[in-house]
Amino acid sequence: MINILIVEDEPAMQLGLKDNLEMESYTVDLANDGEAGLLKIKSGGYDLILLDVMLPKLSGFDVCKAARSAGIRTPIILLTARGEEIDKVVGLELGADDYITKPFSVRELLARVKAILRRSQSIVLEKEDTLVDIGRLHVDFAIFQAKENGADVKLSHKELEILSYLYKNKNLVVSRYDLLENVWGYEEQITTRTVDNFIVRLRQKVETNPNQPRIILTVHGSGYKMVL
Options 52, 161, 178, 207; binder of Ca ion; rule CB under 5 A: 52
Is 47 a binding residue for Ca ion by CB under 5 A? The answer is no
**Secondary structure string (H, E, C) spanning the chain:** CCEEEEECCCHHHHHHHHHHHHHCCCEEEEECCHHHHHHHHHHCCCCEEEEECCCCCCCHHHHHHHHHHCCCCCCEEEEEECCCHHHHHHHHHCCCCEEEEECCCHHHHHHHHHHHHHHHHHHHHHHCCCEEEECCEEEECCCCEEEECCEEECCCHHHHHHHHHHHHCCCCEECHHHHHHHHHCCCCCCCHHHHHHHHHHHHHHHCCCCCCCCCEEEECCCEEEECC
Is 87 a binding residue for Ca ion by CB under 5 A? The answer is no
Q: Least distance in Å: CB of 55 to Ca ion?
A: 6
For Ca ion, which stretch binds (CB under 5 A), given 1-9, 40-48, 135-143, 157-165? 1-9
Is 62 a binding residue for Ca ion by CB under 5 A? The answer is no
For Ca ion, which stretch binds (CB under 5 A), given 40-48, 49-57, 67-75, 101-109? 49-57
Options 16, 33, 40, 54; binder of Ca ion; rule CB under 5 A: 54
Q: Least distance in Å: CB of 19 to Ca ion?
A: 18
For Ca ion, which stretch binds (CB under 5 A), given 30-38, 54-62, 134-142, 155-163? 54-62
Q: Least distance in Å: CB of 149 to Ca ion?
A: 54
